[in-house]
Each structure stands twice: as structure tokens, then as C-alpha cells.
A and B are shown apart, each in its own frame.
Chain A
């Protein structure tokens, strides 16, 4: 019988973290940015059907980067949790905080050795204010591959190549943006970092709009997306 090698716990965690980080860094980054009445998700994604963002519940949206099969199953699990809770209690009892905690627990236990390898995903759970003017503020929870969770504000970049994008957004972001201006800030930042102009056909743009009734999630494509980008110059 072969004797297993001893691996120090620190080393094991470091290896797993590096493995997950490398996997995530291979993919393209995704930006989430708050505007007055909501949150927009903008990323480069030439696929029209394999999305990185999704509706979870009335005021809650989901965005992810990394390995598709892994974040897709996380997305479906989130929708299940939200719908089961909303059905048993009331729609307003479904919160992004509870959902972000569930994701954090799940990714944490998978990372700590639950599975042969850690998940190579980073998730973002956004919840928009129920007040259409955004007076109470929106919520953005960034959940990393190891289950650590960060409460973000203004904007956040997940995935590979985050630093130049964060810097590009920092110089462009201003308070009280409207939706189209917010989308343009993201598109301009993506263009600056990649060094080429972004074609609307290669972008996945979606978000949450607090001024909509009940289901706040929206997805912009084709003409609606071109109009939104042109609306702000």
C-alpha cells in the first residue's frame, strides 16, 4: 500500500487558491457598476445564449466569471433557494444577504476540501433598492472562490485582469449616473484596457432597474443595447 505524502495545510490551501485563481484569470472580466436607480453588469461575451448574468429574484441579480458548468449550477441553486423561500414566506423576505451567505458557505466548504478541486468561480450578487430613487442604496456582494465575501460599493470588477479595469473605472466613475451613462462608463473602461473599441454584439449587458415593476432584472441586446450606448454619446 502506498503511503500518502504529508502536505502541510498551509501549502495545501495555497495550492488550491492558486489553482482557482489561475482558472478564473483565464476568463474575461465582468464589471458591475451602481447607478442612481440600479446596477448594470457589463462584460465581453460574444455568446448570445450562454450568459454570465441572470435574474435570481425580484430585486436580486447574479453575475459570475470562471468555469461555466460550475457557476451555472450555482446560479440554478440560487434561483431554487430564492423561489422556495419566497413561496414559503413572502417575496420581500428574499434578500441578497441571505443568498450571498449561502454562496459563501457553499464555496467555502468546497474550497476547504469538499471536492477534489476548488470551484474556479467568482460570483456577484446584487440587490437594488426598493425605492426607485435609490435613496437607501444598493447592495453588491462579491464572493470569491474560497468563500470569502466582500460587500462592495460604487463598482466592482470580477474575473481576470481586474487591476487596470478598476483603475480605468476609478477615473471615470461619478455619482448620480443614469443607466446609459453607467453602461458607457463600463464600455469605455473595457475598451481602454483591451485597446480596441467594443462592438455591441460582443457585449453582454444586463442589470437591475429599481424603477421597473416587480421583476427588476433587464437584459439589453441588439437595437436596445446600441441605443443605450449611443444615448450617451
Chain B
């Protein structure tokens, strides 16, 4: 008597399974209850809406040797400031970063599942996804979130990285329905993005070095915090500074608090004089 192998071992890989290298596909089969739920139906009630924690401004700048991504630390719920130390920039893998804005809960989950997806693909296939491939995958995940966006749980990520094979530095912006747009030199998303964009347009220089790009990113966040109530400036009293990630050929690295503080100090100085 013989059995099909899957009667003994759940989820052995199948030949020609196009989703075979996808972590989300594996999760759907093995632990569907662990996937973020997608609820359709009526819009979210106002009292729930007011408790929803939202993250605000993240931005990215292209430099000569890589890209810089930065995010402020404020989270808001309605008119409250609910957190002053939120993280909105995450490593996606060792050559790219994901920044999040919008409903904080689903957005942070998106960042985590995306990072797992990239690592899973790399382990199964033995090669990391191309930068374009990664950005496309993220677009698909935002698209899959559409039913939640319709109810007001909007999640808009920002993706930036360096392609190890070609040396390309790229930034991708998204919209709530999963549209993917390649940015030229800089991009910003979230409630403070208008003000941040104005500064980025003025200062972003793709031929500048990474240090200058980090300074530009911090200056843009500073301006966003001045214009937008939901974006937090550097908190000099509690020493909470924006998170600034630098990605170059050597990989993903976050600036230390002291490094960011030095940039903040320099930016504040130019505003004083």
C-alpha cells in the first residue's frame, strides 16, 4: 500500500509551484490563522478610529554610494501623541530598508512579514531577490491589504536599497492600493511628507556622499516636524532622535544616537544663525 507523501509530511514542496519560495504562501497553507485578517464590510466606527495609532513621516534620499532612509519617532492616535519613541524604519534584508507610515499595527506587521519573506526566498533559492523583485513583492503585499485600506487602515510603505549585483541605488514609493513608483533622487511619505519633500527637492544630491545625505534627511524631518503636528522633531530632553539607516555596498547600518545627535546639532545651528 502506498500513500501520497503529503499524507505523511504536510507541505513538502511541489514541482513547478510558483509560490514555492514564498513565505506568505507557506504561512497560508500551514498556519492561516497567523496571517493578518482581511475584513471586508462597513467602515470603521469613529470610536475605534480615534484609538488607531498612526505613524507619520518617513523619507529616503539617494547618495553617491548608497541610500539613506530616515523616520521620525512620533506616533499619534487621533489628536493625541501616543508615542514619542516609535520605530518606523526597519531593515528588510542586508541591502534594503522598509519605512512605514499609516496605521501602525498593520504597518509594522507588514514590515516584519516582508523581511521574513525576503529571508525565506533567499534561503530557499540560494540567491536574494533582485531589488526590483523585492519592490514588486512589497507592492503585492500592499495590494493584498486593500480590503483593510478601504476601512481606513491605510498602510503606505517606502522601500529603498542597493542592488548588490548592479550597484544601483533605488527608492520606491507606494500608494494605498499597491501602486509602485520609482523615485528619482528622494521620496517621502506620511503626513509630514509635503514639508519634507520641499526640503528634499532643494537639498537632495545623488552625487553627495552618505554623510551629506544623512544630514539632508535629518533636515527634511526637522522641517516636516515644524509644519506637521503629527511629525515629531528630535527630542533633545529625552535624547530620542530620528532613526537614520544607511545602506551601501557593505550593507544596512543604522547611525548611532551620537551620530544622529551630531547631525541634529548641526542642523539646529544653521536654523539659529
Contacts and interface: CB of A to CB of B under 8 A. Distances in A.
Contacts, number: 68
A45 B218 CA distance: 50
Contact of B30 (A51, A76, A84): A84
B221 to A, nearest CB: 28
A116 to B, nearest CB: 5
A88 interface: yes
B136 to A, nearest CB: 20
B46 interface: no
Main secondary structure of the interface of A (DSSP, over half): helix
B123 A84 contact: no
Interface string A94-135: 000000000001100110011110000000000000000000
B236 interface: no
Contacts of B23: 80, 83-84, 87
Contact of B11 (A49, A51, A77, A88): A77
Interface in A78-94: 79-81, 83-84, 86-88
A80 B30 contact: yes
B20 A76 contact: yes
A55 B5 contact: no
A114 B10 CA distance: 13
Contact of A84 (B2, B8, B31, B126): B31
A73 interface: yes
A86 B30 CA distance: 13
Interface stretch (B113-121, B154-162, B166-174, B222-230): B113-121
Interface in B108-131: 112-113, 116, 119-120, 123-124, 126
Nearest to B34: A88
Interface residues of B, number: 25
A56 interface: yes
Given A49-B126, A87-B27, A88-B31, A73 B120 contact: no
Interface of A: 49, 51, 54-56, 73-74, 76-77, 79-81, 83-84, 86-88, 105-106, 109-110, 113-116, 215
Given A87-B34, A109-B9, A113-B1, 18 more contacts: A51-B126, A56-B123, A73-B12, A76-B124, A79-B120, A79-B124, A80-B11, A83-B26, A83-B119, A83-B123, A84-B23, A84-B30, A87-B23, A109-B8, A110-B5, A114-B3, A115-B8, A215-B119
Interface of B: 1-3, 5, 7-9, 11-13, 20, 23, 26-27, 30-31, 34, 112-113, 116, 119-120, 123-124, 126
